[in-house]
Amino acid sequence: MNQTYIDLLTRLVKAEVRFVLIGGYACIVHGGTLSTVDVDVCCDFTPDNLLRLQRALADLNPVHRMTPQRLPLSLTSENCKKLKNLYLDTDLGQLDCISEVQGLGDFSQVEQMCETIEAEQTRLKVLNRDALIQSKKAMGRPRDREAVRQLEAIKEMETE
């Protein structure tokens, strides 16, 4: 896993942000070889958790990547209640925070389908392989189908 992204995830862990690593980097953790340009996490979208996220990223100049104005991240207890996803650019790279994973459910459901790994002396929650396969099948994009193919092949090799 890219050291810059490990640094980004370590910040979230130290700030006690409740999240589960999903997406491309979760595939890499499980042995996949697809490349990715962002870190995808499913996180608890409660105001307290999102404000912890904001504090963790404060000195990394986070901006909303999907808005034309690229507005700085400026969360309050009130505006957090309206959010479902955050797509951010930071000085350490792109971070996509989502409240639900297609095919799996919201954060509380996703958290039940994770495992804990150690990366650079940081304990990270990562979506387990079977749940990752299920979510990638639900997404159905070409890169998701390739991830499913790789993850199922790895699973098959481990059972032989």
pLDDT score of 6 more than 80 = yes
Q: What is the per-residue pLDDT for 36?
A: 85
pTM of the model: 0.93
Q: Are strands 63-64 and 100-101 parallel, antiparallel or unpaired?
A: unpaired
Residue 82: pLDDT band by 50, 70, 90 thresholds?
very high
User: Got the DSSP string for 22-63?
Assistant: EHHHHHHHTT-----SEEEEEE--SHHHHHHHHHHHGGG--E
Work out the average pLDDT over 83-99: 96
pLDDT score of 159 more than 90 = no
* Long-range contacts (CB closer than 8 Å, 24 or more residues apart) made by 105-110: 107/18, 107/20, 107/42, 107/43, 107/44, 107/45, 108/44, 110/20, 110/22, 110/42
Q: What is the per-residue pLDDT for 67?
A: 87
pLDDT score of 103 more than 90 = yes
Q: What is the per-residue pLDDT for 30?
A: 93
pLDDT score of 61 more than 90 = yes
CB 125 within 8 A of CB 21: yes
Q: What is the per-residue pLDDT for 5?
A: 86
CA-nearest of 123, 53, 141 to 95 is 53
Encoded amino acid at 154, one letter: I
Q: pLDDT by residue (tens digit) across 111-151?
A: 999 999 998 888 999 999 999 999 999 999 999 999 999 99
Q: What is the per-residue pLDDT for 1?
A: 64
* Rounded-to-integer distance, Cα 94 and Cα 55, Å: 16
DSSP 3-state of 116? strand
- State the chain's mean pLDDT as an integer: 94
> Domains in the chain and their CATH numbers?
3-149 (3.30.460.40)
Q: What is the per-residue pLDDT for 149?
A: 95
